[in-house]
Amino acid sequence: MLETDKDAELRNVRQAIVDKNYELLPAEYRKKKDWLSTELGVVFMDSKIVIPLTLKEWVLQVIHGDHEGIPKMRLLAERVWWTTKERNIKDKAKNCITCFRSGKSLKTALPESENNKLPEFVGNWGGSSS
């Protein structure tokens, strides 16, 4: 039995593709209907394998195996796709205890904005001002 068969949503997506009944696709798949296909029971989004729910955590473990950062994880995950892949990759890196202890996840813990920059120091460092 394929892992796709164990994933109810992906099973339905595969059937909608086979039947060409795209109205039955969940919204996040419907937006990508022109890139969806199926072969040998496996669903593809463009040339990427759509990962069933049962394998998502395993794939995240593999691409984060050496405690790679987000850019490297994205690169390692180029050939696979699932609806929440980007968010899951960020969460995996950000919530990894080993990465946190080594300081790797400190940068990802900061919000991505101009507000996280340190203000420019004005004044002296405790020395005399004379």
**Same domain as 68, residue 46:** no
- pTM (predicted TM-score): 0.74
For the stretch 94-118, pLDDT in tens is 888 887 777 665 554 555 555 555 5
Cα separation values, 70 from 25, 44, 45, 64, Å: 30, 23, 22, 9
**Same domain as 55, residue 104:** yes
Angle 86-66-80 (CA atoms, 0-180°, nearest 5)?
35
* Residue-range definition of the domain harbouring residue 64: 51-108
**Same domain as 30, residue 61:** no
Residue 87 falls inside a structural domain: yes
Q: What is the largest CA-CA distance in the chain?
A: 83
Residue 114 falls inside a structural domain: no
Q: Where are the beta strands (DSSP E) in 51-100?
A: 80-81
Q: Where are the beta strands (DSSP E) in the chain?
A: 36-39, 42-45, 48-50, 80-81
**Same domain as 45, residue 56:** no
Residue 117 falls inside a structural domain: no
**Same domain as 101, residue 57:** yes
**Same domain as 56, residue 100:** yes
Question: Do residues 53 and 61 touch, judged by C-beta distance below 8 A?
Answer: no
For the stretch 26-49, pLDDT in tens is 999 999 999 999 999 999 999 999
Number of domains into which the chain is organized: 2
